Amino acid sequence: MMRILNSEFDLARLLPSDEELAIAFVPTNREIYRMLQACHKLKTVYIHPDTFKEFPCVGQTLLYMQKVELVVDGDVPKVLSAGGGEASKNQDATPPHPLAPVMAGR
């Protein structure tokens, strides 16, 4: 069964028996190392092409050295932006309420 990691907080749920992971965020080298430590039987890691562009080279080397296959697949979920994706873009274009000047008095 493939386990999907949406953020670094999902690393705590990993089991030693996990063989396939789908990563929906850009992991740091430390997080990749933690994945390898937690999943002793890890064989395959799936990642979205846009996320792969920011994937650290040292992390790729760590996976290669442990004989873990890194698969770049467009069906894997992308990184979720901090602003919430398309909703934040629309919000920036048209604010939900009119901006008013701030009055400060003594």
In tens, the pLDDT along 51-79 reads 899 999 999 999 999 999 999 987 777 76
The CA distance from 11 to 15, in Å, is: 9
Asked if residue 93 belongs to a domain, the reply is no
Residue 34 covered by a domain: yes
Q: Pick from 71, 64, 77, 80: which is nearest to 20 by CA?
A: 71
What does pTM read for this prediction?
0.70
10-61 per-position pLDDT tens digit:
999 999 999 999 999 999 999 999 999 999 999 999 999 988 999 999 999 9
Structural domain harbouring 66: 2-7+18-79
Question: Does residue 50 sit within a domain?
Answer: yes
Residue 89 maps to a domain: no
Residue type, 21: L
DSSP state at residue 8: G
13 domain-assigned: no
User: Do β-strands 69-72 and 44-47 pair in parallel, antiparallel, or remain unpaired?
Assistant: parallel
Structure tokens, 86: 């398309």
Number of domains in the chain: 1
Does residue 87 carry a pLDDT above 60?
no
